[in-house]
A and B are shown apart, each in its own frame.
Chain A
C-alpha cells in the first residue's frame, strides 16, 4: 500500500519524535525507553559506526585463519588428509563435480568477502557520502543482513560430517581449527551488520539535497 505523490516526507526526528527501532512506536525526543516494548530509544545511534567497524575488524581477523587452517580432517585406512575451504573445493572440482565446487566457493568465499566489502562500503558512505541513493544502500544492507546467517551452513556441514562419518578404520572425519574461526567470523559479521543504524544513510542524503528517484 504505497502512497504515490509528493515526496515531502517528514522524518520522526524532524517532527521532534524518536522512533523505537524494535516496534516502530514514536515518542517525544529525549524519551529514553520505549514504554510499549521496553527497548532503549535513540534518535540516531551515532556510536553505531564505531561498533560496526570494531566487529568488522574482529570478523576479518577471524576470517584469515579460517582460510589458512584445515576445515576438515579426513582419516582413512591409508592416509590422513586435511582440507581448507578453497582446497576442498578445488579437490571436488578435480573429481569433476564442478557444480558442488561452485556452491562451496560461493557460500564460503564469495559471500563472506562480499559481506566484508559491503559493510565497509556502507559504513564509509555514511561518513563521506555516496552517489548511490539511500534507498539502494538500505536495500544493500537488507541483503547483507539476510545473507549473513546463511554462511553458518559451512560450520553445520562440518558438524554433520564429523558426527556421521565415524567408521573406525575405514574413514573418519574430524573438524579442523578453521571451523571455529570461520564460525566466529560469521558471528562477528552478523553482529557488525546488526549494529548498523540505517537511518544515517537518509540523513546524509537529506543534507546533501539529493532528490529521490
Chain B
C-alpha cells in the first residue's frame, strides 16, 4: 500500500469492514507491520481491520456506534482554507468593537477582550484568565497547530518536526476551545438587556458570528484517524 505517491486527502482511507475473530490470545499472530492494519474503537475496545471506505462514507463501530473514520474529499485543503479564514476573523474580532449599548444618553462599547477581562476583583481575576483562554487563546492556538500539522501533509511533504505532538495537543485542547459557546452566550445576553437598552452591533459581532458557522463546518471535515494515518506513513 503506497501512501507517499499521493497526498492523503485524495487517497482512499481505510474502512472498518471485517471483524478480527480469528486471533489467538498468545502468541500474537501479527508482526508490528500487520498491527498498523488493525484499529480498535477507543470507546469500547472492539477490534477491527481497517479498510478503505469511499468518500463521504463513514466507518462506524458495530458495537457502540462511535464514528471511527469519516474521510472527506479534499478535506486537507478545505480545512487549511477555513482555518486561515477563522484566524483572520478571530484576530480582527478581538480588537474591533463588539457590541454597544445606550440608555438615556449614556452609552458604552465593549470588545471581546473587554468581556474576557470583565472579572477583575481579587480571585475573580482567575476567571478572566480562564475566559480569555477559552474564547481567544485556545481557539487561536488550535488553529495554528492544525495549520502546522496539515500544511506539509496536503503537499505530500515530510511533516514538520513534532507534528505528532502538535496534533495531539490540538486534539486534547478541543473541548476547551469555546468560541462558539461564547457566541451563543452573546445571544442570551442580548435577550436579557434588550428590554432595558438599545443595543448596537459592531463589526466584531458579525465577524464572530461568521466564525461560529465556519467552526462547525471545519469540525466536520477533520477525520482524525486519517490525519494520524498520514502522519504515521509520511514520517517513518
Contacts and interface: CB of A to CB of B under 8 A. Distances in A.
Contacts of A82: none
B99 A1 contact: no
Interface in B44-100: 44-47, 53, 57-60, 62-66, 68, 99-100
A153 B44 contact: no
Interface stretch (A50-58, A115-123, A166-174): A166-174
Interface string A90-115: 00100000001001000000000000
A82 B32 CA distance: 63
A36 interface: yes
A194 B42 CA distance: 13
A23 B228 contact: yes
A39 interface: yes
Nearest to B134: A152
A127 interface: no
A183 interface: yes
A3 interface: yes
A208 interface: no
A171 B103 CA distance: 9
Interface in B1-60: 15-21, 23-26, 28, 35-36, 38-47, 53, 57-60
Contacts of B59: 1
Interface string A6-28: 10111111111101111111111
A199 B64 CA distance: 10
A179 B120 CA distance: 12
A105 to B, nearest CB: 13
Contact of B53 (A1, A16, A150, A152): A1
Contacts of A175: 118-119, 124, 127
Contact of B42 (A1, A24, A162, A168): A24
A9 B25 contact: no
Interface string B172-206: 00011010011011101101110011000000000
A190 B189 contact: no
Given A26-B47, A153-B184, A170-B106, A3 B193 contact: no
A190 B186 contact: no
Contacts of A8: 19, 21
A212 B24 CA distance: 23
Interface string A153-166: 11111111111111
A79 interface: no
Contact of B44 (A22, A177, A198): A198
Interface residues of A, number: 73
Contact of B193 (A14, A134, A165): A165
Contacts of A145: 175
Contacts of B60: 1-2
A180 interface: yes
Interface in B87-137: 99-101, 103-104, 106-108, 110, 114-119, 123-124, 126-127, 130-131, 134-135
B155 interface: no
A164 B110 contact: yes
B218 interface: no
Given A149-B175, A155-B131, A180-B124, A11 B19 contact: no
A152 B231 CA distance: 34
Given A19-B45, A37-B168, A155-B127, 8 more contacts: A2-B60, A12-B38, A17-B35, A26-B39, A39-B168, A100-B192, A156-B115, A161-B189
Interface of A: 1-3, 6, 8-17, 19-28, 36-39, 92, 100, 103, 134-135, 138-139, 142, 145, 148-150, 152-171, 175, 177, 179-180, 183, 187, 190, 194, 198-199, 201-202, 212
The 7 closest A-B pairs by CB, nearest first: A156-B185, A19-B40, A12-B40, A162-B118, A163-B110, A167-B106, A163-B114
17 contacts: A1-B58, A1-B59, A3-B17, A10-B23, A10-B47, A12-B45, A17-B28, A24-B225, A25-B228, A37-B164, A150-B181, A156-B181, A158-B118, A160-B189, A164-B101, A179-B119, A198-B44
